[in-house]
Amino acid sequence: MARTVDIGERLELVPMDQHCRNISLALYRQQIDAGSQFVVHTYSGLEGARQRVEFVARAMGVLGGMDSSSRDPVRLWFPCHAQHKMAVRRIFLEACKLPSGETLMVRPLTILDKKSNRTITAASLGNGIYGLEADGDEEGKAGRISAVAGGLVKLGEMIPSSESAERIAFSCGQPHDSIIGLLLIRALNVRAVLREQEIVASRGILSAPSAQKE
């Protein structure tokens, strides 16, 4: 009898979890009447696998401001019930980077940008809109804020403001401070994130001998 389960669309996969015996961890999305729900899953039956999945789900709840029920702790959803596909994938990947037992904390809306040596701050302006600010002198400030806003747009599938390069918004019209705090650190260097994604995606594809990179 088949043991694989139909648990929806797989959004993301960590093929080898360094914190739990190299098991694979996956994030699946299910569509229900109320909106999107997400399930953290592993097919591994190794000792500790179930606890690891539960930790990752708990970490996603904290890092991404997601809700879950005590009855089914590996099932999560955003309070707005929207999909936020790119953001939830990033939340999952960041949660998988944490060792089980790590203290979980919402990440702040302020970050030191080493590239420009400025502190960048995001502030919720209501209706899912966020404004970005940076301290320090004016030279290069607008450009750097615009770049970080662009990073958040890419990583969180947010909507750029047509009026201001410093403003971005979630399509659901709801605030998501936790997501912004989580993405802010990656938005400082989106290229590195994309490079990492490309490397992970290119692994596991078999090439003909003539096409192998030696």
Q: Which of 36, 37, 42, 83 binds another protein (CB under 8 A)?
A: 42
Residue type, 169: A
Residue range at the interface with another protein (CB under 8 A); choices 14-22, 75-83, 130-138, 191-199: 14-22
Q: Does 214 bind another protein (CB under 8 A)?
A: yes
Q: Does 205 bind another protein (CB under 8 A)?
A: yes
Cβ neighbours for 42, distance < 8 A, ≥ 6 positions apart: 23, 24, 25, 26, 49, 50, 52, 53
Q: Which of 19, 20, 23, 39 binds another protein (CB under 8 A)?
A: 23
Cβ neighbours for 39, distance < 8 A, ≥ 6 positions apart: 7, 8, 27, 28, 29, 30, 74, 75, 76
Shortest Cβ distance from residue 132 to another protein (Å)? Answer: 32
User: Three-class SS of residue 125?
Assistant: strand
- Paired with 76 in beta bridges are 38, 68
Shortest Cβ distance from residue 214 to another protein (Å)? Answer: 5
Site residues (vs another protein, CB under 8 A): 2-4, 6, 9-10, 13, 15-16, 22-24, 26, 42-46, 201, 203-206, 208-212, 214
